[in-house]
A and B are shown apart, each in its own frame.
Chain A
């Protein structure tokens, strides 16, 4: 049986989990941590660095690093105007309208799916290290309110990372699976998911193991990021106003401020007040005290934006707050007491917080992965019935959207439309597919333009082309067409409005499927040899230390023997043998290591100047806080 992992590809953090027996567990990364920050950077050799390692680069070499890439997934140039004001995304200079976005890191450019793929590949490697074998299949979670293009981009990212994406699962639904695993009860559950960059509300009906989503709503650009940006703007305004120091274009300083305000935000969830103290260029300092009350007043407009979607979801579900039995909180931003208070007010009950809001989505993805893989005792009878978050429509005369699959329809869902020709002998028909709730096509999201080709030439109005629109269980649209009079399959040429073509994705694949086993072996070998080097270098250092003299002759002799054995297998191709020899040497040098414990380890930090990066204006925020102190 293939191992299928569950992945939460988050705006701020990403995780990989799998089902160990009856329990879903998060697989830690090589740093031993469960959360992999969704940050990607290029090192000095243009090699990608992901996660905590890349986080330092955000401050040291911000022009070589990127965070919150999820905000750009499946989006076009024209709809990221706001993001560009608030995030240091550097678009490629030669970007053309209509092209898939490309982000500059150093002197290279990457599409958002490629950057996400680097994060996914890191998680894949963690899982492979954990299992000691290749991992090629995954369930990846997406915000419930993600549209077709955003879903497709996520699927592409998986493929680029060498993962077969068996299913895209909506994040709040995944969370409900993790919760439902041990609860096994019937009733109506609302999942309120406020993460780093996205907000979802889903209302589900639980019935003997069936998790039926009744309604979902959300905002794919609302989350903790927005709170951070507010706080950053205030700090920058303060600094500019009082010190006359305009740091908005100083990426290094902005990232330092960002780090400080994020820490402050987290602290304010448990403490009544926080003192910011940030070192600024030219030996200046920015100091200010923020009270919980000021902070809550400040973020109120941000968290209030979750109210509308919640009310709409309840309306769509035909339910009143009293009819909801449980409320579950998901996403790091639900740790904010003010958010919890808002949820309580909205649903008239105390929300559940038993599971770690950062991990629950990944755990649910692991449950879904287990179901897809054939299930186990723990997941027996469990089945997820999800919905499409947005209505699917086609453009008709007058630029109007004709909705053919309504939002909150259980997926897979389909609709059939009939088309005919307007002039004699016409052989092509164009169809414009849209997603959204607005009445005019221009206000909806354009998904694709389809050209039906090869319609047999007939008098106008005679051909009858049956076009079938099908939204699959991933929430992704498929279209097929057949001319009914001739019975011919009509050819469909798709011009996706956003996103990569199949060929482009092929060209980006990081680890080919066919070579997964071989790639894995080779990578393991490289990693094992690197570790050999590390331990041998450390040993050389140890031999020169005072501690070495404290070992007995016998101990020294044993170590020499192990060292020789390791050097021997290191020259061979068997990574498992190398690992074993490393382990043996590790055990054998335990006492030496203990004796050396007192040695201080110093790390050199590289300081480097960098180009100023354009951060844009950002909003100026009138805020409720007192004046800052400066030094």
Chain B
């Protein structure tokens, strides 16, 4: 699964399965037979292919939802409860894959992280191993502060420390709270901005896919470039999200 989807795409545009149905023998679609409706044994495919989609990031979520409902009506275990045991197993696996795929693709950030995973970038694992390492050594997890935020974060951390001290002493400093609140709003705005920035890279990425499908594959440098930009945006976004969480915690406690 970690193989680049781009190379797979170059070979064949869409995973229109050409195997025949185990039950009626006719040419079938990937998940269930178009002619007899029987659920087919699952084949390992990525989430985009599961929905018959190219690995592009701009996605029509309404159309995805419709496909999700249509496929649910074929694959869900409730509608295959009276079939043979093996078919029930397939239905369970196909249906869980459908749900996993839909859950991942409908959400813009999960979708991006998943595409990066297919490209061999493990955002989550990076963060996980960093967290575990920090815990093992008893340190607070260190995160690289995005350079454009360095100054603001430094300032904010001092203010948060002051706030915590105030709370400990039972003091109240409305001006400080107002100031932190303002910073929080700014951070939240930045958080939103980054989503928009991410979307510009989606466009670049999707352009590369379109080009590949038209027979002009993107170079590995081109891919790496846009990939790294997306990783950077996601990391910065995560950083801000954690910061906002810290602010919320400090304000509540």
Contacts and interface: CB of A to CB of B under 8 A. Distances in A.
Contact of B99 (A207, A372, A397, A410): A410
A509 interface: no
Contacts of A536: none
Contacts of A398: 132, 135-136
Interface string B48-68: 000000000000000000000
B76 A473 contact: yes
B156 interface: no
Interface stretch (A78-86, A92-100, A113-121, A411-419): A411-419
Given A372-B81, A398-B136, A409-B103, A385 B76 contact: yes
A43 interface: no
Nearest to A415: B100
Contact of A413 (B82, B96, B132): B96
Nearest to B82: A374
Contacts of B96: 411-414, 470-471
A396 B132 contact: yes
A372 B88 CA distance: 12
A409 B100 CA distance: 8
Interface in B71-102: 72-73, 76-79, 81-82, 92-93, 95-97, 99-100, 102
A367 to B, nearest CB: 11
B99 A409 contact: yes
A368 B78 contact: yes
Interface of A: 166-167, 207-208, 210, 368, 371-375, 381, 383-385, 396-398, 400, 402, 409-415, 470-473
B136 A371 contact: no
B76 A383 contact: yes
Given A210-B69, A410-B103, A413-B96, A473 B77 contact: yes
B67 to A, nearest CB: 13
Please list the 8 inter-chain residue pairs (A to B) with the smallest Cβ-Cβ separation, ordered nearest first.
A412-B96, A398-B135, A372-B81, A410-B99, A414-B96, A473-B77, A397-B132, A412-B95
Interface centre among A166, A371, A396, A410 (most CB of B within 10 A): A410
Interface of B: 69, 72-73, 76-79, 81-82, 92-93, 95-97, 99-100, 102-103, 128, 132, 135-136
A167 B81 contact: yes
20 contacts: A166-B81, A368-B78, A371-B79, A373-B82, A375-B79, A383-B76, A383-B79, A396-B128, A398-B132, A398-B135, A402-B128, A409-B99, A412-B95, A412-B96, A415-B100, A472-B92, A473-B76, A473-B77, A473-B78, A473-B95
Contacts of B128: 396, 402
Nearest to B66: A207
B188 to A, nearest CB: 16
B81 A414 contact: no
Contacts of A470: 92-93, 96
A75 to B, nearest CB: 28
B102 to A, nearest CB: 7
A226 B222 CA distance: 64
A451 B65 CA distance: 39
Given A375-B79, A402-B128, A415-B100, 14 more contacts: A167-B78, A371-B78, A372-B78, A383-B73, A383-B76, A384-B78, A385-B72, A400-B135, A411-B96, A412-B95, A413-B100, A414-B96, A470-B92, A470-B93
A610 B182 CA distance: 69
Contacts of A409: 99, 103
Contacts of B77: 412, 472-473
A375 B99 CA distance: 23
A166 B103 CA distance: 26
A442 to B, nearest CB: 15
Contact of A411 (B97, B99, B102, B132): B99
A166 B77 CA distance: 10
Contacts, number: 69
Contacts of A397: 132, 135-136
B69 A412 contact: no
A311 to B, nearest CB: 16
Tell me the dominant secondary structure on chain B's binding face.
helix
Contacts of A372: 78, 81-82
A471 B99 CA distance: 11
Contacts of B72: 210, 383, 385
A410 B102 contact: yes
Nearest to A2: B82
Contacts of A411: 96, 99
Contacts of B95: 412, 473
A384 B136 CA distance: 44
A402 B128 CA distance: 9
Nearest to B125: A418
A402 B135 CA distance: 13
A375 B73 CA distance: 12
Contacts of B78: 167, 368, 371-372, 383-384, 473
Nearest to A414: B96
B135 A473 contact: no
A473 B93 CA distance: 11
A383 B69 CA distance: 9
A302 B89 CA distance: 43
Contacts of B93: 412, 470
Contacts of A375: 79
A373 B135 contact: no
Contacts of A210: 69, 72-73
Contacts of A208: 69
Contacts of A396: 128, 132
Contacts of B82: 372-374
A432 to B, nearest CB: 15
Nearest to A418: B125
Contacts of A402: 128
Contacts of B132: 396-398
A412 B92 contact: yes
B206 to A, nearest CB: 26
A383 B128 CA distance: 37
B69 A414 contact: no
Contacts of B103: 409-410, 413
A622 to B, nearest CB: 30
A610 to B, nearest CB: 47
A227 to B, nearest CB: 32
Contacts of B92: 412, 470, 472-473
Contacts of B73: 210, 381, 383
Contacts of B100: 413-415
Contacts of A368: 78
A75 B82 CA distance: 32
Contacts of A384: 78
Contacts of A414: 96-97, 100
A372 B77 CA distance: 8
A326 B109 CA distance: 31
A373 B82 CA distance: 6
A385 B75 CA distance: 12
Contacts of A207: 69
A397 B137 CA distance: 11
A373 B78 CA distance: 9
A274 B89 CA distance: 57
B228 to A, nearest CB: 25
Nearest to A1: B82
A429 to B, nearest CB: 16
Contacts of B81: 166-167, 372-373
